Structure 1
Amino acid sequence: MPLLQLPPEILIQIFDDVGSAYFRSDPSRLTVCKQWSIYARSACFRDLHLTQKTLRRLLSTPCEETWLPFIKDSVIALDLELKGFEDWGLTSDKPEATWNSAQGHAIRDAWTSGVLNDDISHLVRITKQSRKLRHLRIHATSEAHPEFYLQDRRDYLFTSTIRGFLSLSNLASLQLDLCGTRPMPSRTGERFHICTDIAALLPTLQRLRLRMREICPNALKLEQPSTDLRLDEVLVNLSLSHDSPRITSATHAARCGSSPGVGFLQLKADMQQQAKELVAQMASPKRVRVLTHARLNIELEAFDVLTGKNLALGECADWDAAGEVIEDSRVR
């Protein structure tokens, strides 16, 4: 029997097994024929990986109405990679003079508000209509000119943009890695603290991974105490290492709205304590960690909340790597 004569439910399973990556790697695989295209597009959009450039192209296409239903009906996992402004105009002989000027700042600011955050807000509106979206990952690294290495770091994501994603009510997994930008207000008087918005998702999430330039224990604090959270993995990374391949040193996250004199060690202790309180409310916790980096290098370390042990994970290690137990005398 020819493939496309199989029952629809079997075809859906076959195309899902082939996987989204197969169709993303070669768009021509989406257009074998009209019937094929229906199933192929559905499988392609099942795991949707977007950069800010592919998102711009997607929203600029005249055929938006043809792919919009596939996002609404097919997307289960959404992965969004952000890098900040990239249209530097590499022919400039003096990038420092160009981009540190008032005109350079104005160009980047206009792109931030008029392109990037508008595009992401559009994506938020689309995903809110999705019936299947369960997994969301956002990774935002520092904006970087390819030649001007000493450029000051610049925030480029609006708080309202991030808060839009945090209002999605059907998420089972959230990975929010904002190591390269702090959420910033888009208008005067806008509330910029998002930790409570993250905490509001705790009753429905199964997995949470966080890294932000500013964070506080409220991100792990339930509004209403519970004893049977289905949440089973929480990884909070306080290390801002490896935000950019050019950076050979690293800092740690700061406490939200912290004043001078409020140190990182207190934030670390408070996050660990709040993680312990959260574990007590989880039905079947599997992995709960607060990650940092060693004081004298950028090797990743983790406090395992379930065992009370400190683990050395190594440089560039995955947040959930097994690691080696650090003896008390080596704890840094």
Structure 2
Amino acid sequence: MPLLQLPPEILLHILRYLGSQFFAHDTRRLTISRGWYHLAWTVFLRDVRLTPESLETFTQNDLILQRSSPHMVSVDISLPLRPKRDLSPSPPADDDEIDGPFLHLDSSLAKFATILPGCSGIRSLNIHTHVYISPEHFGNVASLNALRVTNLLSPPHLTSLDLDTAACRLESQPDSNVHVCNVISALLPSLRRLRCRMEHICEEILQLPSAGSATLEEVIINMSIFRYHDDDIIASRFSKSCGAAVRAVTSLRIALETQAVTLAARIPNPRMVRIISHKGPFLEVYAFDAITKTRLQLENNLEWDADGELLDEGNETEDSESDLFADDSPIEPVFNPYS
């Protein structure tokens, strides 16, 4: 029997096996026939991957937004941001060309967020920021509207959240007092999996509401922020504490680890609850396991859930703990390829 003559439910099963990326690689694959298009469109929208360019295109058409919302299951938003040019004496000649996709990013994020409360099918949300690095911008900091980010966390049945905005600073507007940690904390009862790394973070992100959670299994908070260029680490720093008060990184780490232990004790089936940090100057990466209350050394800062080497508990004195994570410098230059 020809493929297009198969019953719709069988054809839909085949298309789901191909997956949304099959159509994303070449959208002409959606237009084989009218019946094919109707089914392929629903598969294409199951796993939505957005960049500043595609986000702008996606949000410019209200009809597409409305048609898409019932079918989305996972959303991946990748944002390569531009650092501020406050320190640059003169911007590059091609700035207009490079900035093009970013000019409407704030409004695109705001519009996309308006449909998410009605997207009952979304289970997974990944938001990652990256920084475009050039000689003119090295060391400068990119920023993103904190309210835009928290508004994106609104799908009603979200079970997996992967939020990595460490490449930028989340800035609150004067008329809004947004605390991202509190917003994420409120999601814990319905989440099964949380991974988070932000420029500013505090232990409130791990405070489980009184209702508790019967589904939460994995929580990973990463305090280590590495900047890469061609797979080489060119800078490193730690997350800072939320709020205006200055707080040592060791104090923040201990607060997060303490709250992680409390969280692990309150969830029925914890699979992994860990806090990741690093030690300078050689950038060894460590993970505190809040379930076993042990510390592991990881091979790198890329695989957050990787198995690690268990550290000798006999060597973990209070003094060595303090020395291990005592470096609270905002930036540790490791290698600057443009110097």
Cα distance between partner residues in 2 of 1:57 and 1:292: 38
* Structure 2 counterpart of 1:37: 37
- Contact 1:216–1:256 under 8 Å retained in 2: yes
Distance 2:120 2:177 in 1: 29
- State the alpha-carbon separation in 2 of the partners of residues 116 and 31 from structure 1: 29
1: CA distance, partners of 2:236 / 2:138: 15
Compared with structure 1, are the counterparts of its residues 301 and 258 closer, same or farther at alpha carbon in structure 2 (3 Å cutoff)? farther
TM-superposition CA deviations, 1:30-58 (whole Å, max 9, x none): 11122111222211111111111121233
In structure 2, how many angstroms separate the alpha carbons of the residues matched to 1:300 and 1:204? 30
1:240: Cα distance to partner? 0.7
SS in 1 for 2:148: helix
Question: 1:167 aligned to 2:164?
Answer: no
**Shift in alpha-carbon separation, 1:277–1:251, aligned structure 2, 3 A:** same
- Give the letter aligned to residue 123 of structure 1: F
Q: 2:207 pairs with 197, 216, 221, which one?
A: 221
Number of the residue aligned with 2:335:
none
Do the aligned partners of 1:300 and 1:317 also contact (CA within 8 Å) in 2?
Answer: no
The reply on whether 1:67 has 2:83 as its aligned counterpart is no
Is the partner of 1:203 in helix, strand or coil?
coil
Query: What are the equivalent positions in structure 2 for 1:116-135 lying under 5 Å apart?
Result: 116-135=105-124
Q: Which residue number in structure 2 is paired with residue 92 of structure 1? A: none
Deviation at 1:3?
A: 2.1
Q: Which residue of 2 aligns with 1:236?
A: 221
2:80 is the alignment partner of 1:83 = yes
CA distance in 1, matches of 2:268, 2:11: 38
Where structure 1 has 5 or more consecutive residues not aligned to the other structure, the ranges are 89-94
SS of the residue aligned with 2:196?
strand
- The alpha-carbon deviation at position 258 of structure 1 amounts to 4.6
- Is the Cα contact below 8 Å between 2:116 and 2:154 reproduced in 1? no
Q: Which moved more, 1:13-22 or 1:290-299?
A: 290-299
Could you tell me how far 1:316 is from its partner in structure 2?
A: 4.1
Whole-angstrom CA distance in 2 between matches of 1:275 and 1:152: 32
Q: Determine whether 1:295 maps to 2:283.
A: no
The answer to whether residue 250 in structure 2 is matched with residue 275 in structure 1 is no
Q: State how far apart, in whole Å, the 2-side matches of 1:197 and 1:96 are.
A: 35
Alignment partner, residue 184 of structure 1: 171
Query: What is the match of residue 186 of structure 2?
Result: 200
Q: Distance in 1 between matches of 2:228 and 2:241?
A: 19
Contact 1:180–1:243 (CA under 8 A) maintained in structure 2: no
Q: Distance in 2 between matches of 1:237 and 1:171?
A: 21
Runs (5+) with no aligned partner, structure 2: 325-339
Counterparts in 2 of 1:99 and 1:257: CA distance versus 1, 3 Å = farther
CA contact (8 A) 2:119 2:155 kept: no
Q: The residue matched to 1:138 in structure 2 has which SS?
A: strand
Partner-residue secondary structure (3-state), 1:81 = strand
Instruction: Judge conservation of contact 1:220–1:275 (CA < 8 Å) in 2.
Output: yes
How far does the alpha carbon of each residue in 1:46-78 deviate from its partner, in whole angstroms, 9 at most, with x for none?
111111112123334xxx356334421211000
Cα pair distance change 1:120/1:222, threshold 3 Å: same
Instruction: For 2:226 and 2:82, locate their aligned partners in 1 and report how far apart those are by CA, in whole Å.
Output: 21
The alpha-carbon distance between structure 1 residues 15 and 70, as it changes in their structure 2 partners (threshold 3 A), is farther
Contact 1:41 1:70 in 2 (8 A): no
Q: Distance in 1 between matches of 2:44 and 2:228?
A: 29
Q: Secondary structure at the match of 1:29?
A: helix
* 1:256 has 2:242 as partner: yes
Separation (CA, whole Å) in 1 of partners of 2:149 and 2:78: 13
CA distance, structure 2, for counterparts of residue 219 and residue 243 of structure 1: 27
CA–CA distance in structure 2, aligned partners of residues 326 and 244 of structure 1: 30
- 2:147 is aligned with what amino acid? S
Alignment partner of 1:97 out of 75, 79, 89: 89
CA contact (8 A) 2:119 2:156 kept: no
Q: Between the two proteins, what is the percent identity of the paired residues?
A: 29
Q: Which residue in 2 is equivalent to 1:148?
A: 136
The alpha-carbon distance between structure 1 residues 278 and 322, as it changes in their structure 2 partners (threshold 3 A), is same
Pairing 1:108-123 to 2, within 5 Å after superposition = 115-123=104-112
1:121 counterpart letter in structure 2: A
Distance in 1 of aligned mates of 2:221 and 2:139:
28
CA separation in 1, counterparts of 2:150 and 2:74? Answer: 18
* Greater strand share, structure number: 2
Q: State the Cα distance separating 1:244 from its structure 2 match.
A: 5.6
Q: Shift in Å at residue 115 of structure 1?
A: 1.1
**Greater CA deviation, 28-37 or 295-304?**
295-304
